[in-house]
Amino acid sequence: MEPLGRIGRTTVDVLAVLLESDRPRWGLEIIKTTGRPSGSVYPLLDRLERAGWVTSSWDDEERKGPRRRLYVLTRDGALEAQRICATRRSPTWNPGRPEAAG
């Protein structure tokens, strides 16, 4: 698992949604839950997957509309997400610091 480098509010929001879920979540669901734009969420999900924090798979459920890609934290990703969410959601976190970008 690779370190992410920069961790910003969008990253914290996406990690929190994945961490708090008891099932895989699809991209549009994460976007709606976080209120973040797709242009931020989808590239972040790709970055999380390349880093080994998240795995994804195509939903095989028969339904109308386009297929959905499902995302879930890996075991190590969940541990890091817990650490990050606990630290970054604290009142002392300053999003203006360089490591908070993104």
Mean per-residue pLDDT pooled into runs of 10, the chain (102 residues): 86 96 95 96 96 94 86 96 84 51 46
Tell me, yes or no, whether 25 lies in a domain: yes
Is 55:69 a contact under the CB 8 Å cutoff?
no
Tell me, yes or no, whether 53 lies in a domain: yes
The number of folded domains in the chain is: 1
Domain containing 29: what range? Answer: 9-89
Q: Model confidence over 2-11: pLDDT tens digits?
A: 888 889 999 9
CA distance linking residue 34 with residue 19, whole number of Å: 13
CATH number at residue 51: 1.10.10.10
CA distance linking residue 57 with residue 41, whole number of Å: 17
Tell me, yes or no, whether 102 lies in a domain: no
Distance, CA of 53 to chain centre: 9
Tell me, yes or no, whether 81 lies in a domain: yes
Query: What is the value of pTM for the model shown?
Result: 0.82
